[in-house]
Amino acid sequence: MATASLSSEVSEPPSIPTEETIKFHLQAFIPMISETVDCDKLLAGLTDFNMAERRQIRDMRRNGGTSKDASYKILEMILEKDEPGIYRELLTVLEEDYPLVARVLTKGYIPQEHVIKEKKLQLFISQIVKCLNPTDVLPSLHSKSVISQQDVDEINAENNQHGKSAASMQLLMHISCHIEHWFENFLICLHDNSYAELAKTIDPDFIKDYDEGLVSDEGKYVKKREKFKDLENSMEIEHFVSDYHAADSSSLDLESAPSNPIKPDQIPKLASRGEPDGQYTVAVQQSPESMDCAENTARKLLLDEDLEESATASADQYLQENLHNDLNKGKKEFRDKNIVWDDEVSADLNLDTEDINTENIEMEDGAISLRNYQEELARPALKGTNVIIVAPTGSGKTRVALRIMQKHMELKRGREISKIIFLVNQVALANQQGEACKKHLPSYQTQVISGEAQRNQKGSLKDFIDKRDILVVTAQVLLDALVNKEIESITRFSLLIFDECHHCHAKHTFNQIMSYYMDIKLSESADKTSLPQIVGLTASVGVGKARNMDKAKLHIKKLMANLDAQEISTVCQNIGELSEYVSVPIEETRTVPKRQNDEFGETILRAMNTIEELVMQCELLQKLDNPEQYKAVLKAPAQKGSDQYTQWASKLWKETAKIRDADVRRFINPCRNHLQIYNDTLIIYNDARTRDAIDYLKQEMLLWKQSAILDKNEQDLFDLYEKNIKPEFVQDYPNPKLEALRDMIIEGFKDKPAEESRGIIFVKTRNLAKAITAWLKDTLTLKHLNPIEFVGSNNTGSGKDAMTKVEQVDALKFFRDGRHKLIVATSVAEEGLDISQCNLVIRYDHVTNEIAMVQSRGRGRAQNSQYFVLAEEGKGIAEKEELNMIREIMMHKAIIELQGDIARDPQKVRKELKTYQEEEQLDRKLEARKRKGRLMRTGEFELRCIRCDEYICMSSDVRKVQNAHHVVVLDDFEERVRITKTASRKVIDETIQFVGKLNCRKCGNDMGTVSIHRGLHFPVLKISSFLIVDTNGRQNTCKQWNKAPFEALPLTTTDFNVLLDKRVDSNVD
């Protein structure tokens, strides 16, 4: 055998490696080592690095450098230092956590058996990614030292941010780095954590031996079969495996090596593809004189990226570079590995198929075909006119937009630069519309960009604006780019498409974007010819609160003015064809009586009445200058468990903040808080089960008690709760609404194939979505539908019951493929989401306006779909739905009249629209001046606890991170707040995660969260928990940071370095 002859010529390095040996191997294998080793562990164990050097590495990480980059830099610095003992210290650091890497430094190769295991694992990557939920096996793998705690944290973060498929890939990149028997222990962990079949698929012989007791829990053979002894004897020489071809052996430049060169005949030939002793090359200990060529040799050994012949020694490098490179080139399989990747797995892994350089690809799309009614809708826009396109859901407005985009590009070609931006409200819609653009316009380069993608450093809008033809963007991303001047002008685009354009009014993001357009249009000196074309898409423009035709037309004209639309395009000539293709759901409103036994509800009402009386009779009110005025504010609405009561509680919070007497505020605030909790409990109780309401109430009261430092008033409030909420309430009395909902769902799914049916239930709040989902799962006749909730997301650590972006995407994907047949959703699912199988839509005792009615009804895309409104008698819900139907009819009539006005005298209408535009521009200027006046108040502002009036910090101590999170940069901040670490981390993106809670040290008031940003801990403030006091003693409060009377400065590198220096000096963080 070739291996036998090789063993006689290649000598093992000394058992105790010299400094020169370690240095040589470090030079040769620095890419692989930096890919594998965590920079923080590396830096922590090296004593020869001073504080300035450590700060340099830390800054490198915090300025966007990866762990690999930092590790490479550390290893380079070691080679530059070249000090006695530094290489042996490096070896010592690596031996504890990275024994395989340490072996590379001492012997210059990786065990052949280790590489065979990696190759075997690579054969089953697809199955592992599809089947495994990595969080199930992380505790076992960590306990066996297969992965480190930092690995666990990174994998959990990846799971929270991108889902289980990406997390599985992250796990596979880590498991081979630490211990010798990683493969065996991985299989054991799969076997012992309900993945026995997957483990058997990967290595049936090993699992059989494990089941028969031949393998210990540590993955070592207690007794070896004969076949293992034979295999062991055949592995006398262990080789380092690299991405190197035998045919390219001359590329090693062997003749340049002054001594001990590797000869081509010393390289063992490939016996056969797939055999254990595959094609390998060997890194041989050479004399010091040959070290000059070590780096070149290693580079040729390690950096060949041809996947067809590769069997890389670095699983991390192999998976990250080769896997992504092949998939991003459009390949769906590893050719010789027989690993087939489908689009679903690629999407789960967030593989970026847009990063390919396709600038030189010449393709020509065929004209996108349209039906006659779609051609009618597109006609004004195809002529270059600004237009609002109004058409029913399911009529193909996206396809119309695609044809408009295609024609726009064709007309601009060769004459001027074209750039299209497609604006949406939600990430899910961005992904949906982006896929449509890529599918139907493949000759143009499309990029989907959301705020989440930017935070994850996958490229910002400014990075892609010159590289892509079509940008599908969440609206806030474009607005931020304009505000921050990352994009100098709206004129960088030639066409703006607004999806769900009916939102373009007031302070909505769409309207703020259009203000940049209007400032150019209404300017006397600006070049108006450079303005982009505007196209709006919607199923309903709405009529606002109009009760007559004139007001309805006014509402629509103002929307046209905001979008600078010259026409409204609807189907007029091809209505017959439209009706053939658009499914109109069967509509029905059903009313149900209130539940009969209302003992729990009456108990909550009594508790609320008691608290209201306590507030009104409070003697402290007499200390106020005008007690009667405040008593009017304190008078609660009669209807409890209602939106009206919620609005009153919010107003009371605002008015209480203006009271200067801290004792009065300290009394009123907890009373208001308890009333709000009881009101929310009643809302849940009215629409769900008693147990759901009790669960919510208990949870809220427990959180209150845990965070607050109770005074006598608060203790009395808590005693009132404990006295009234009895165990017997858990016994449920039937809720007629739930019984009616059950009947509706059964009816909606009756006589239809289960795999072809889907349903959406729209509810008012996140809390109710959670309660209704729980009820569905507990109902025997419905739980087979595998219901799931779908609610809004947020980017803060304090939002309760919110979904992450990944959870939203997964929920919709699983709904489409039938894993979940029923979704319980808030308004976030009303617009744009296209689920063709959806045949049942139910609005559960909740209606808003005619736009929401049209949008939610339009989710029923299947033929003969049903749209129900379930309404409780006496609440006015049925009547409100009827009013929405009337307004929908009014809207259609108003559009027809307005189209007639435009046809008769277009100049008159345009003049009227311009007047509205000028009025709106004036309003913006006045608001900006008012805002500037608030910001220019003399002096700073104190931030005080809204509950106890304790001073917390100054406005100048607040900084803004990522233009979103408001953090405190103050040394003594923890003297006034209490920080509590949470059990789990909430990962917002790759640069910020929330790890703790922030409470007032004096009274326990919830003040926000604690985040980790670029490695340092920061308190993140919740502005609604503070009194904002100016230098004249005037105080106020606000619920949102953008309403605060001061502007927080962004967190700068200088701020960060100052904090870093202080914390390094005090050994913090």
Separation of alpha carbons 688 and 771, rounded Å: 6
Q: Report, as an integer, the average pLDDT of 783-810.
A: 74
Which amino acid, one-letter code, is at 750? K
Long-range contacts, 259-266 (Cβ 8 Å, 24+)? 259/286, 259/287, 259/289, 259/290, 260/284, 260/285, 260/286, 260/287, 260/290, 266/2, 266/5, 266/6, 266/9, 266/10
Spacing of C-alpha 93 from chain mean position: 36
- pLDDT for 156 equals 87
Rg (CA), the chain: 33
Q: Which of 61-75, 274-288, 536-550 has the highest mean predicted lDDT (pLDDT)? A: 536-550
The residue ranking higher by pLDDT, 87 or 773, is 773
Of the CA atoms within 13 Å of residue 884, those in its CB half-sphere come to 22
Beta strands per DSSP E along 11-114: none
- pLDDT for 241 equals 34
Kindly write down the DSSP assignment for every residue of 732-755, as one continuous string: PPP-HHHHHHHHHHHHHHTTS-GG
Lowest mean pLDDT among 60-69, 869-878, 881-890, 1024-1033: 60-69
Q: Report, as an integer, the average pLDDT of 96-120.
A: 76
The residue ranking higher by pLDDT, 841 or 272, is 841
Q: Which of 36-50, 67-81, 905-919 has the highest mean predicted lDDT (pLDDT)? A: 905-919
Q: Specify the DSSP element, H or E, that contains 1066.
A: none
Separation in Å, CA 400 to CA 77, 571, 634, 1060: 58, 12, 54, 54
- pLDDT for 876 equals 83
Q: Specify the DSSP element, H or E, that contains 471.
A: strand 470-474
Lowest mean pLDDT among 60-69, 724-733, 803-812, 960-969: 724-733
Lowest mean pLDDT among 203-217, 309-323, 818-832, 981-995: 309-323
- pLDDT for 20 equals 80
- pLDDT for 3 equals 34
- pLDDT for 83 equals 81
Spacing of C-alpha 135 from chain mean position: 19
Q: Report, as an integer, the average pLDDT of 880-906.
A: 91
pLDDT category at 620 given cuts 50, 70, 90 is: confident
227-268 pLDDT tens trace: 444 444 444 333 333 333 333 333 333 333 333 333 333 333
Contact 280, 268 (CB under 8 A): yes
Per the prediction, the chain carries an average pLDDT of 78
Separation of alpha carbons 999 and 666, rounded Å: 16
Contact 540, 390 (CB under 8 A): yes
- Token reading at 349: 């892994």
513: pLDDT strictly greater than 90: yes
Query: In the 8-state DSSP scheme, what is residue 282?
Result: -
- Token reading at 914: 């311009």
The pTM is what?
Answer: 0.61
Which amino acid, one-letter code, is at 159? N
- pLDDT for 321 equals 42
Domains present along the chain, CATH in parentheses: 2-110+239-309 (1.10.533.10), 112-233 (1.10.533.10), 372-581 (3.40.50.300), 599-730 (1.20.1320.30), 736-883 (3.40.50.300), 942-1065 (2.170.150.30)
Separation in Å, CA 96 to CA 90, 103, 319: 11, 12, 25
410: pLDDT strictly greater than 50: yes
Lowest mean pLDDT among 257-266, 572-581, 838-847, 875-884: 257-266
Report the percent of the chain where pLDDT is more than 70: 78
- pLDDT for 991 equals 61
Give per-residue burial for 386-410: e unless 16+ CB within 10 Å, then b.
bbbbbbbbbbbbbbbbbbbbbbbbe
Helices (H), 132-252: 138-143, 149-162, 164-174, 182-192, 196-202, 204-211, 226-233
952-974 pLDDT tens trace: 998 888 998 877 889 998 877 88
Contact 336, 273 (CB under 8 A): yes
Separation of alpha carbons 502 and 510, rounded Å: 9
The residue ranking higher by pLDDT, 602 or 990, is 602
Which amino acid, one-letter code, is at 17? P
Separation of alpha carbons 941 and 1034, rounded Å: 10
CA nearest neighbour of 100 among 142, 70, 145, 166: 145
- What sign does the CA torsion over 567, 570, 572, 577 have? positive
Bridging pattern class, strands 822-825 and 838-844: unpaired
pLDDT category at 179 given cuts 50, 70, 90 is: confident
- Token reading at 519: 């400032």
Separation of alpha carbons 355 and 448, rounded Å: 11
Helices (H), 763-837: 766-778, 805-816
- pLDDT for 229 equals 44
- pLDDT for 296 equals 41
625-649 pLDDT tens trace: 777 777 778 889 988 988 889 989 9
Spacing of C-alpha 181 from chain mean position: 36
- Token reading at 156: 């959990």
- pLDDT for 849 equals 66
Q: Report, as an integer, the average pLDDT of 873-881.
A: 83
Neighbours of 106 (CB within 10 A): 20
Lowest mean pLDDT among 57-71, 339-353, 571-585: 339-353
Lowest mean pLDDT among 66-70, 128-132, 142-146, 495-499: 66-70
The residue ranking higher by pLDDT, 793 or 461, is 461
pLDDT category at 487 given cuts 50, 70, 90 is: very high
- Token reading at 211: 């089941």
Q: Which of 291-305, 904-918, 998-1012, 1033-1047 has the highest mean predicted lDDT (pLDDT)? A: 904-918
Q: Report, as an integer, the average pLDDT of 991-1005.
A: 84
**Angle, CA 543 vertex, CA 540 and CA 547 arms, to 5°:** 145
Spacing of C-alpha 20 from chain mean position: 48
Q: Report, as an integer, the average pLDDT of 532-556.
A: 93
pLDDT category at 860 given cuts 50, 70, 90 is: low
- pLDDT for 223 equals 62
Q: For every residue of 842-880, which 3-state class applies, written as one string? A: EEECCCCCHHHHHHHHCCCCCCCCEEEEEEECCCCHHHH
Spacing of C-alpha 538 from chain mean position: 26
- pLDDT for 382 equals 96
- pLDDT for 31 equals 77
Which amino acid, one-letter code, is at 805? K
